[in-house]
Amino acid sequence: MEQFEQLLTCAICLDRYRNPKLLPCQHSFCMEPCMDGLVKCPECRAEHRIPYQGVQGFPTNVTLQRFLELHIEITGELPDPTSGQVMERCNVCSEKSYCSVCVHCEKKICSDCKGAHMDILRREIARINNQVRRALHRLQDSLTLVEKNSLSLQQNCTSVSEEIDEIYRRLNKALKDRTEFLRGEIDRYLSTELRNLSTLKENLELEISNIQSNCDLADKHMTEAVEWDDCELMDAKEIFLKTVEFIRNFEYENADYNRRVRFSMSTDPNQLVLHVAGYGELTINMPHQPFVGTGGSGGGIVTSSSSAGLLQPPGPGLMRSKSDHRLASQFRQQEERGGYDRGYGDGSGDPSGTSGRVSPLGSRKFGERYQQNRGGSDRYDQQQSRYGSRSGGGGEFSAEFESPYDNDGNRPRSKYRSRFSRHHGENADSDNDTQGSRSVRFTEGQHQHKERERVLDTEDVARGPLSGITRLYDSPRVMKRLQESEQRGKKKETAQPAQPPQLQVKAPQQVPKRTQRQVSEEDEISKIKRANKSGTAAAPATDTTTPSTPDVGRPVSERVAALKTARDTSSDDRDSSQPSSPTGRIPPPDVSSPARKAPGTEVASSDAESDDGSSVSSLQQTQRKTAGKPGSGSVSRRSSASSDVGSHKKATRSASSDSSTSSESSAASSSVARSSGTAFTPEEQKQKFKSSPAESPAGSGASTPRTRLSSTGSDTPKKPFQSRFLASRQSAATAAVEKSTKEEEEDEEEESESSSESEETDSEDESADETSKKKPEQTTANKSVDKSDIGPLLARSALARDTSEAARKNSRDDSSATGYGRSRYGSGADTSSSNYRPSYGTKDETSASSTGSKYLNRSRGSVDEDNTASSRYGSGSGYTSRFLNKSKSSAGMSPDEEADSGGKKYSPADDSSKYPSGRSRYAALKDRRARLARSRSSHSFGGPDDEEAEDGRTSPTSSMPTTYLASRYGSGSQSSNELARSRSTHALKSRDNSPDRSAAGTEKDGAALSSWARYLKNKYGNKAGNKDGGSSASGASSSPSATTTAARRLSLGLPLRHNSASVESSDDDQKNPGGSPTSPTAAAAAAVDFWLSGFAAAAGSSPRSQYLQKRRQQFKIGSRGSEPGCFTWPRGIAVGPDNSIVVADSSNHRVQVFDANGIFVKEFGSYGNGEGEFDCLAGVAVNRIGQFIIADRYNHRIQVLDPSGRFLRAFGSQGTADGRFNYPWGITTDALGFIYVCDKENHRVQVFQSDGTFVGKFGSSGSKPGQLEHPHYIAVSSTNRVIVSDSNNHRIQIFDVNGRVLTTFGSEGSEEGQFKFPSGIEPYGSDIKPYGSDIKTYNSDIEPYGSDIEPHNGDTKPYGSDIKPCDGDIEPNGGDTKPF
Amino acid sequence: MTALPRRIIKETQRLMQEPVPGISAVPDDSNARYFHVIVTGPEDSPFEGGLFKLELFLPEDYPMSAPKVRFITKIYHPNIDRLGRICLDILKDKWSPALQIRTVLLSIQALLSAPNPDDPLANDVAELWKVNEAEAIRNAKEWTRRYAMDN
């Protein structure tokens, strides 16, 4: 058998024959590839004439083939799978073999190469996975932050409500006490008065009777009938007289008893009531937020913001137009990027949507990857996302303007989603659908560069709500693979190693998502509920979505659910669908990580729940359809809604503080408002919905799905429901109607909110109902989505946009005016309020404010943190913080677009760089801002908004709220140009004050600010300028000359910013990144980094401080290249008399001259050995009369050129004699015009007169003092000390002008005071500064100079790094230091 | 670096599983195309008892082109020069893809037992071999003892 097999083995490939060809010599070989290039028989070396048509012209060895077949039969081995295939050349290794298309490289390659590529992919996945893992903590951090925030929010709110209760009690008590007291007083008064009166009455009666009796007696008996003596008569008379007198005099003081008790109040009762009614306000600390809420009583407090609402800033028009072309550009871009979006119809349909969905987090993360692999793609993504958000924002805007609620919903939602959603993944699930599509792009990008079929990323895969990252475990493919591998493992343990690893690798990727999910899911119940929700949401989504888009990634919520739902929709069989869905079900067989398992189970549960939900929803839907009537529908909805609500409530109630729930509630409220709603024509609604999907995506991933649903589903059954919802949204169209409705709604909202949670629940129910009407099962998330949907819809209509924009601006203005620390929140609130106003008029204002106040109140507790908190409230007034951010960001987007359109595109690289990490992003932002500011003075808002937007995005994740705020702030101000100034100050303050900022944050912040300030400056002139200075100072440097710096920066601008050539050219040089101010080397290494502080710092400060100041990079010139302003191995630098900077651009064989600001002035010289030609010149010096003295290194000569660069003379040639050189390097000149040349290979310094006459030399090869080993650079101080970088001795030597050694310092090493191949050197003032590749500053006292010299030590720098000194002090300023 | 062709893998496996007596060829850890070869001096030759180290490298287009083989151990042989280069027809123009590593090494081993001074590479050695074969053989033995036996 063995021999038999041997007979069937081709001698060349040592494999079984494949298509054996028989040579005339009777030897057989495989046709391919063994006979390729065959000349002689490999076995017998017989030469054969190759047939005309090639080796296949040889007859096939049929016998052998029979044997092969026989063998196959006998052994039962599988036939060669490649039989029948034709070999091709592998496009990678160009071996001939059976090729198949590799998705990695998109070429047809052989299996070996494919395996290699797969390995690469696996490795990359592993690597990225590691990155993901490493970065995952950020999400977790933010999760904890969110939790913390929610907690604090709750605490805050409870404390506030307790406070309010307390106040209420107190007021109540005071009122009661007082009332009782007053009542008692009155009673007392009454009784005493009565008593008095009664006694008086008695007395009077007595008197009357007495007098009467007297009278009677007198009448009767005072006659003569009775004998009275005189005394008696006299007395009687007196008595009567007295009586008369008494009667006469007696006067009842009527007045006394006539007076009434009056109840008078110290204050006007009306006012008092007012006061009491408005006895408290809730202030929400959102920076700059103007909102004021009234407490329990209905009395509304007018927020300042409301007033502003009516004003329409000029901006909106611009915005609008921008948005239009923004959209267009987006679309274009999308098309370009087809790869990403491709396959997802939705994405192409609504570019903004896609972009919008991209979760910043996700994008960022992947962004890194992108950068690496794809350069520009990143940028696109970013842009897209930007656009998306922008567009979303636009939509939001419009929505805002028209219906604040809607806007709110949208905004918050979207924001939330993107930023936070992962948290609330469950809720988000419904949204996932849309996001999914978006996310697809990302994932794709991750795995492949181009379009290709996505196997893992299929529609049914669960996706992270924020990032849209698919959960690999859910992918049917993955499951299948895992299962297979498991089975295989069982069967034969030796099963392919490759696949399992692959899967595993993938799994890790997935894991993060998982974790996210897990994290988000706080407890099982909530999860389940969410799952239900999501399921429900998903179900409707599926229903609505057209069949064509099924593939489109439905995000997370379980494609299973989607599938089910789809089935459900088609028929009521959802239940069956569940089990049937293969992907969702199968728990991953081999759970590599525990996390996975949990997710799997979760998924299952969620699926089940979702199924239920879906079924419910489907039922409801069916009901609706059948019913057609809203009423019947409503009932069904209600039930569904209530169930949903219940679940939501739980979720919300749970400490988890699901923003989603809060959002839901808010959404509910908004929905309520809508519900009051004006009736829209179904058509309109439809239109809107349709439009919404496109736009909405940007707003929030969640929103899109719903919108879709709505659009598709809206068809007949939903219309009634929609009408309600839409009413609020369609403010522009049916503004008046809406107004009324809105007002009502608002009132309702207010009441409900103020009253209690129960009301909230009611509202939720209502909202739920409404939502249910639309999509019966959509949970609060759905509601919010609806809102968001609205936004997009509105966005579409230009009017809407305008209004919205105006509203926005107004709101911003208002907020700024109010001077609240205006946070995004504030702005959000403002916008909402403002929105209301415009649409609703004055009356609305109160309502708006009230709504706002509600939200505010709630959110108030958690001021800073509490984007999340605010987000909760957001629904009411648009979720403030995040949402606002988002909205802003979206707004911000427009500027970008504008910029783009304007032709000020950012280089893709920049964009991409921005995103890789929050930090980098920031930096990018900075740059961008600067650019924007600069370029964009014409666009009023664009820049700032954009910036803001970016900030907003970044901020949520990054823990610098202040920055955010500031940026936010800035944006707000920008939006309204007029306000800009005042705001800018605010912004500054806020930034400065913010303690939370991390240092980096501050820096960046500052930088951003500065750029912003610049922008302002451009716009507004001096004042801004001051700020600019300040900001720049804070951000970049605290140098006294900050303003100048800033100015310089301004002037230098970006154009001058090049990467340092050296950095690019050599890694060694790169050690100190050009930007790092602390590393002098970097500067040196860098093409030319000017630490201009040297320039700026005058003699006044102490040398040390001066010196320290020097290490700051002032600016940087050049990048690698040969164009003017670029360098290739700059090796020498000098300062000309007018502070120009002269650089010996060694490998470009030229000298370049820059002015003091680094602006290219001129160049001269070219390669060669003629006059004025150079060959790798090294040192350059400029003497007092401006002549250039150049060490023409490879020509072994010194050339002197006049100030205009014309050749004057040359001296020297190669050799060791006096006046000859061997690779002269450093060169300098002293005050007397002597020229000092480092004759490097001769290990000496030669001194010449300015005309080239040899004067002297010193140094010889060696390491003793006074000896030199490859001296590189030389400098002469103003005290006529000659400082030489004795490079190979790793030291600096100082000579006097006669060549006597004064000092030697430094030794090899990397400690302070040690060097490694120092090269550059330059005296600065009295200090010596050695530069070198690794020189650090020296602090040792070096005697002759007596100043501080700080040792700089760098790491190893390549020998002779060719740059001369660029340290802070490169060249002394104004010649005060430099001896000419 | 493209993956290893199947043939090389097969050959390597076979070399490991069924080593040729007197020959060991072990692929390098870092480069599967590079083999560390040890060939024992054939009996009845001046190289008997010596262990000769060779290096063998399979070029990119192997088996369509011959492997590169070189003696590392110094050897006194008319067809092997001071640098260890081997003058062997199958390593040059007579290469055939039907040949394998083992066949090549066997050929080299055969070359040791049958020097061919008429087609010399080391001219001085060949000259001596032709003029004074005994002397040459002595030298070869001496070299073998000196260079190929101590390790």
Closest CA to A1090 of A1072, A1075, A1102, A1100: A1075
Among chain A, residues having any CB pair with chain B shorter than 8 Å are 11-15, 34, 36-37, 40-43, 45, 92-93, 95, 112-113, 115-116
Chain B partners of A87 at a C-beta cutoff of 8 Å?
none
Instruction: Note whether B10 contacts A42, CB cutoff 8 Å.
Output: no
Instruction: Note whether B7 contacts A116, CB cutoff 8 Å.
Output: no
Chain B: closest CA distance from residue A1067 (Å): 25
Query: Which residues share a beta bridge with A1130?
Result: A1145
Chain B: closest CA distance from residue A3 (Å): 15
Going by C-beta distance under 8 Å and a sequence separation of 6 or more, which residues neighbour residue A636?
Answer: A619, A620, A623, A624, A627, A772, A776
pLDDT at A482: 79
Taking only the tens place, the pLDDT of each residue in B95-125 is: 888 888 888 999 998 988 888 888 888 888 8
Q: Which tokens go with A641?
A: 């809604």
Q: Nearest-5° angle of CA A396, CA A401, CA A402?
A: 100
Instruction: Note whether A116 contacts B63, CB cutoff 8 Å.
Output: no
Question: Rg of chain B over CA atoms, in angstroms?
Answer: 15
Q: Chain A contact for B100, CB < 8 A?
A: yes
Print the SS3 string covering A1253-1304: CEEEEECCECCCCCCECCEEEEEECCCCCEEEEEHHHCEEEEECCCCCEEEE
Whose tokens are 């919205």? That residue is A804
Query: For residues A211 and A144, what is the distance between their CA atoms, to the nearest angstrom?
Result: 97
DSSP calls for A431-458: HHHHHHHHHHHHHHHHH-SS----SSS-
- CA atoms A1359, A1362, A1366, A1370: torsion sign: positive
Q: Which region, left, alpha or beta, applies to residue B22 given φ > 0 means left and ψ of -120 to 50 means alpha?
A: left
Is the CB of residue A784 less than 8 Å from the CB of residue A775? no
Amino acid at A746: E
Strands A1130-1135 and A1115-1117: unpaired
pLDDT at A674: 41
In this prediction the ipTM stands at 0.81
Instruction: Note whether B97 contacts A40, CB cutoff 8 Å.
Output: no
Q: Which of residues 112 through 151 in chain B touch A, CB cutoff 8 A?
A: none
Instruction: Note whether A14 contacts B10, CB cutoff 8 Å.
Output: yes
A1056-1089 core/surface letters (b: 16 or more CB in 10 A; e: else): bbbbbbbbbbbebbbbbebeebebbbbbbbbbbb
pLDDT at A1149: 87
Is the CB of residue A1140 less than 8 Å from the CB of residue A1155? yes
In a domain, B21, yes or no: yes
| A1274: Cα within 13 Å, side-chain hemisphere | 38
The CA–CA distances, whole Å, from A765 to A713, A728, A1162, A1274, A1314 equal 21, 18, 75, 83, 76
In a domain, B59, yes or no: yes
Q: Chain A contact for B96, CB < 8 A?
A: yes
Instruction: Note whether A12 contacts B5, CB cutoff 8 Å.
Output: no
Print the SS3 string covering A530-542: HHHHHHHHHHHHH
Q: Where are the alpha helices (DSSP H) in A259-375?
A: 269-277, 304-308, 315-336, 338-341, 345-349, 351-357, 360-374
Instruction: Note whether B97 contacts A93, CB cutoff 8 Å.
Output: no
Is the CB of residue A1297 less than 8 Å from the CB of residue A1314? no
Q: Nearest-5° angle of CA A182, CA A188, CA A191?
A: 140
Question: Which element (helix H / strand E) includes A692?
Answer: helix A682-699
Phi first, then psi: give them for residue A567, nearest 5 degrees: -60, -45
Length of chain A: 1380
Going by C-beta distance under 8 Å and a sequence separation of 6 or more, which residues neighbour residue A641?
Answer: A765, A766, A767, A768, A769, A770, A771, A772, A776
Q: Which chain B residue lies closest to A109 (C-alpha atoms)?
A: B2
Domain boundaries, chain A: 2-86, 110-258, 1061-1375
- Among A9, A14, A109, which would you mutate to test the B interface (most chain B Cβ atoms within 10 Å of its Cβ)? A14
Chain B partners of A113 at a C-beta cutoff of 8 Å?
2-3
Chain A: closest CA distance from residue B47 (Å): 30
| A1300: Cα within 13 Å, side-chain hemisphere | 4
Chain A partners of B66 at a C-beta cutoff of 8 Å?
none
Whose tokens are 């888009």? That residue is A549
Instruction: Note whether B64 contacts A45, CB cutoff 8 Å.
Output: no
pLDDT at A809: 44
Strands A1282-1286 and A1271-1276: antiparallel
Q: What CATH number matches the domain at A2-86, 3.30.420.40, 3.50.50.60, 3.40.50.10440, 3.30.40.10?
A: 3.30.40.10
Chain B: closest CA distance from residue A1002 (Å): 48
Instruction: Note whether A93 contacts B10, CB cutoff 8 Å.
Output: no
Q: Which chain B residue lies closest to A112 (C-alpha atoms)?
A: B3
| Of the partner residues A43, A45, A116, the one whose CB lies closest to the CB of residue B3 | A116
Q: Which region, left, alpha or beta, applies to residue A43 given φ > 0 means left and ψ of -120 to 50 means alpha?
A: alpha
Q: Which of B58, B66, B87, B128 is catalytic?
A: B87
Going by C-beta distance under 8 Å and a sequence separation of 6 or more, which residues neighbour residue A998?
Answer: A959, A960
Query: For residues A840 and A743, what is the distance between their CA atoms, to the nearest angstrom?
Result: 7
CB-defined contacts A:B, below 8 A = 44
Query: Which residues share a beta bridge with A1173?
Result: A1166
pLDDT at B11: 87
Q: Please count the structural domains in chain B.
A: 1
- CA atoms A483, A487, A492, A493: torsion sign: positive
Enter the pTM of the model: 0.30
Closest CA to A895 of A826, A965, A815, A975: A975
* Domain range for B78: 6-148
**Three-state SS at A228:** coil
In a domain, B1, yes or no: no
Query: Which residues share a beta bridge with A1189?
Result: A1181, A1200
Chain A: closest CA distance from residue B75 (Å): 31
Query: For residues A450 and A714, what is the distance between their CA atoms, to the nearest angstrom?
Result: 35
Chain B partners of A36 at a C-beta cutoff of 8 Å?
64
Instruction: Note whether B7 contacts A14, CB cutoff 8 Å.
Output: yes
Question: Which element (helix H / strand E) includes A233?
Answer: helix A230-249
Chain B partners of A14 at a C-beta cutoff of 8 Å?
6-7, 10-11, 14, 100
Spans of chain A below 50 pLDDT = 287-325, 328, 331, 335-451, 493-525, 531, 534-925, 927, 929-1010, 1012-1013, 1015-1017, 1019-1104, 1323-1380
CATH number at residue B27: 3.10.110.10
Going by C-beta distance under 8 Å and a sequence separation of 6 or more, which residues neighbour residue A694?
Answer: A349, A350, A351, A352, A353, A792, A796
Q: Chain A contact for B98, CB < 8 A?
A: yes
Q: Nearest-5° angle of CA A181, CA A185, CA A189?
A: 175
Count the Cβ atoms, other than its own, within 10 Å of residue A172.
10
Burial zone of A1023 (CB within 10 Å; 0-12 exposed, 13-18 middle, 19+ buried): middle
Is the CB of residue A1370 less than 8 Å from the CB of residue A1139? no
Chain A partners of B100 at a C-beta cutoff of 8 Å?
14
Instruction: Note whether A40 contacts B96, CB cutoff 8 Å.
Output: yes
Instruction: Note whether B7 contacts A15, CB cutoff 8 Å.
Output: yes
Instruction: Note whether B2 contacts A14, CB cutoff 8 Å.
Output: no
Note if B87 is an active site residue: yes
| Of the partner residues B2, B97, B100, the one whose CB lies closest to the CB of residue A112 | B2
Instruction: Note whether B98 contacts A42, CB cutoff 8 Å.
Output: yes
Q: Nearest-5° angle of CA A1038, CA A1042, CA A1043?
A: 150
Strand order in the sheet with A1301-1305: A1271-1276, A1282-1286, A1291-1295, A1301-1305
Chain B partners of A41 at a C-beta cutoff of 8 Å?
96
- Among A5, A9, A10, A12, which would you mutate to test the B interface (most chain B Cβ atoms within 10 Å of its Cβ)? A12
| Of the partner residues B3, B64, B96, the one whose CB lies closest to the CB of residue A45 | B96
Q: Chain A contact for B2, CB < 8 A?
A: yes
Instruction: Note whether B11 contacts A14, CB cutoff 8 Å.
Output: yes
Q: Which chain A residue lies closest to B14 (C-alpha atoms)?
A: A14
| Of the partner residues A13, A36, A93, the one whose CB lies closest to the CB of residue B6 | A13
Chain A: closest CA distance from residue B28 (Å): 20
Query: For residues A517 and A526, what is the distance between their CA atoms, to the nearest angstrom?
Result: 12
Q: Where are the beta strands (DSSP E) in A986-1110?
A: 1088-1090
Going by C-beta distance under 8 Å and a sequence separation of 6 or more, which residues neighbour residue A1330?
Answer: A1283, A1285, A1292, A1306, A1315, A1318, A1320, A1321, A1338, A1349, A1352
- Among B96, B99, B103, which would you mutate to test the A interface (most chain A Cβ atoms within 10 Å of its Cβ)? B96
Query: For residues A378 and A1183, what is the distance between their CA atoms, to the nearest angstrom?
Result: 49
Whose tokens are 């007397």? That residue is A1232
* Third-level CATH fold of A1061-1375: Neuraminidase (2.120.10)
